[in-house]
A and B are shown apart, each in its own frame.
Chain A
């Protein structure tokens, strides 16, 4: 009985730590700050991509769009000379329908898993996507082709397959919390926390790891590679936060989750946006969102420059414990 109670916390404990619950998130933030009419902008990845590109926000480059069966024939011209690319459905969910081509071997395409597919198979994949095989609800869908993100060696020790991404919660244009999501064998190469990926809380001031969780349980080392998670420090941190903060102007969504990947050559890129970001980021950070959200609400509706917003977040939402350990980790910085 005692053990059973150990797995629970009291509501007053959570309230003291400012933990944001599902109900308050839905009514107090999503319903209040996210205009319904702006949802398609983030639910449709193609639309997100186009809007982001127009605003000159860094993202994987859009190569081509496939909107009808007719387009499929034309796209072969485009793909002929490409060595690497990614095909995605506009309304895919949970990574379904994403085809990653990492190399060419003669006429055949090499997938991330190493398997080969022919041009005809690739066309069939596109055709299936258009008729809604990969979209939730089976609606007819569009597909698009974008450049492949070049994962540097930086994360090699920290990820089992898959591309590690950084989720930044942006409230009214202010970055409020961030975490790094590392795929594991348990998560099958996916970076979704509830599928078993590791979430590493990041100090907003420095981009340093604060703490890490897997399946809502704290851990110190990556379960597959055994690397110490506390050594992680994301480079170009301010640039990354600025990128996330700018998404507010683009989407006009007050409560937003920005998924960012780091490209070896191009630096931080926006991969996806989410109008209903989850709450696990709090567990990864060991901190509640409410005090930070309320602090920003208290600032009022005055428009503030992106740089100033990032500056504000870095000074106010940084973790003190991380600052204290700064000297210890100095040389381990991942660039």
Chain B
């Protein structure tokens, strides 16, 4: 065939452009290819309990800061009887509950939803002036000795921290380490040692995520600053490499929990993991940056959800015509009918379509006796269709059938034209041909409906509009198909029958 190469090149370009754009958007924006694709969301609940002393109470709980690896999707503060606000006066945000006259045991809840994500947070560097830990003798000498022993075998902040953890945890325990640990917790000791060596370090509290765990406490850990980011160090285990399940909770606040006007306060954490559709997550986080249909107002989005399905329906029609060889009444009428089915559901849609068209054909046969001109005939048919639909809706809603209400989704003009065309076919070629064409149209419409209602296709069509380039390429390819249609294999069977006779 002439110009075969430019044509194939065009097809190749369309397919490549469609698929590569889709891949790019999938990779960089995390838009999932499957509608069922899901991501893990951790629901963490902090339960605060304290004994109120009958005076004004202030309760502060540090809230998890912005951090790499997690994003906070939602937070919820259950606090009946308490006033609540977010305290932003310190470097780290805190939940703040207040009550004037509280007595007895009190319970407060914080629920935070954390999404495990690829999110990279640019971390805040340590202050230029590092706090200098105050050592008293004999601890100053002990600390100095410890530092002197590991300094030569370390190279940078991370390795120094690692070596210090090693020195602190050797068994039997070094005497000076034991002495130092009497005055400080392991995390605090490690931080102070690092600060004394002029290495930026801080004590943090983190929560270890484990599905279904209850009454957990935060773990005290240390962070050292190197290469523009904080590295987590466990004072018992050394550098923590896998931070996927470690949520930093307290980094800069003075304490996790602060209760004024109460005692015996404590906080415990419980957590469960759940899965959520990635699509929600992607649109929540990147909706503003991505050029997608989500930037349209909601009402228009709904419309585009349907419009984006049209090419799929058109592909079905092209396939049915060129490959199968089905006769339909009106080339793309089946797509519009299928679109209406999407809103009415299949069975009520089919039933109401057949009823309206059947009644319409009866009335139309009377119209043809009147010898009307075409435009007037169609206009009359449109009104008749509206009449039938109105009657149908009123009667069926009186009888308690909801299906009738949705019939108004059918495009009136299309219905009128369908009736007109089938009626002409009836007059010219007989009722058999009407059944053949009407049945063919409905069959194609049902197939198109089934395709368009597949959740995968609906998802891809709306979220990856660029894939329509691939659909276009397919339609172009089908347009060049010169082989036999499936039904021709039956039509021309007379050839063989004769040969055998």
Contacts and interface: CB of A to CB of B under 8 A. Distances in A.
Interface of A: 6-11, 13-15, 17, 19, 21-24, 27-28, 93-94, 96, 128, 131-133, 137-138, 194-195, 211, 213, 216-218, 282-283, 286
B481 interface: yes
A132 B495 contact: no
Given A211-B498, A218-B501, A22 B373 contact: no
Contact of B374 (A13, A23, A132, A213): A132
Contact of A138 (B375, B429, B496, B497): B375
Contacts of A14: 484, 488-489, 492, 495
A315 to B, nearest CB: 25
A133 B498 contact: no
A195 B495 contact: no
Given A96-B428, A138-B373, A283 B485 contact: no
B4 interface: no
B90 interface: no
A283 B482 contact: no
B373 A131 contact: yes
Contacts of A138: 373-375, 377
A194 B377 CA distance: 28
Contact of B489 (A11, A28, A282, A286): A11
A27 B4 CA distance: 14
Nearest to A11: B484
A332 B492 CA distance: 31
B150 interface: no
Contact of B428 (A28, A94, A218): A94
Given A21-B484, A218-B498, A283 B428 contact: no
A-B residue pairs, 5 tightest by C-beta: A138-B374, A24-B482, A21-B484, A94-B428, A216-B494
A82 B111 CA distance: 99
Interface of B: 322, 325, 371, 373-375, 377, 428-430, 479-485, 488-499, 501
A24 B483 contact: yes
A250 B104 CA distance: 108
20 contacts: A8-B493, A9-B493, A13-B495, A13-B496, A14-B488, A15-B484, A17-B495, A21-B482, A21-B483, A23-B322, A24-B483, A27-B480, A27-B482, A28-B482, A96-B428, A128-B371, A216-B493, A216-B494, A218-B497, A283-B495
A286 B494 CA distance: 8
A8 B490 contact: yes
Nearest to A13: B496
Given A9-B493, A14-B484, A133-B373, 11 more contacts: A8-B490, A9-B492, A21-B483, A22-B325, A27-B482, A93-B428, A133-B374, A216-B494, A217-B497, A218-B497, A283-B491
Contacts of B498: 211, 218, 286
Nearest to A124: B371
Contacts of A133: 371, 373-374
A132 B376 CA distance: 12
Contacts of A10: 489
A138 B381 CA distance: 15
B102 to A, nearest CB: 83
Contacts of B483: 11, 21, 23-24
B489 A9 contact: yes
Nearest to B425: A94
Nearest to B499: A286
Nearest to A19: B492
A216 B498 CA distance: 11
Contacts of B485: 21-23
A23 B428 contact: no
A26 to B, nearest CB: 8
A137 B373 CA distance: 10
Contacts of A218: 494, 497-498, 501
Given A11-B483, A138-B374, A138-B375, A22 B430 contact: no
Most chain A CB neighbours (cut-off 10 Å) among B374, B377, B483, B484: B484
Contacts of B484: 11, 14-15, 19, 21, 23
B432 to A, nearest CB: 10
Given A132-B373, A132-B374, A23 B496 contact: no
Nearest to B498: A218
Contacts of B481: 23
Contacts of B497: 217-218
B489 A23 contact: no
A218 B490 CA distance: 14
A9 B373 contact: no
A137 B378 CA distance: 11
Contacts of A286: 495, 498-499
A77 B375 CA distance: 33
A282 B494 CA distance: 10
Nearest to B377: A138
A163 to B, nearest CB: 19
A218 B499 CA distance: 10
Contacts of A195: 429-430
Nearest to B479: A27
A122 B145 CA distance: 125
Contacts of A9: 489-490, 492-493, 495-496
A216 B497 CA distance: 10
Given A9-B495, A195-B429, A283-B494, A22 B488 contact: yes
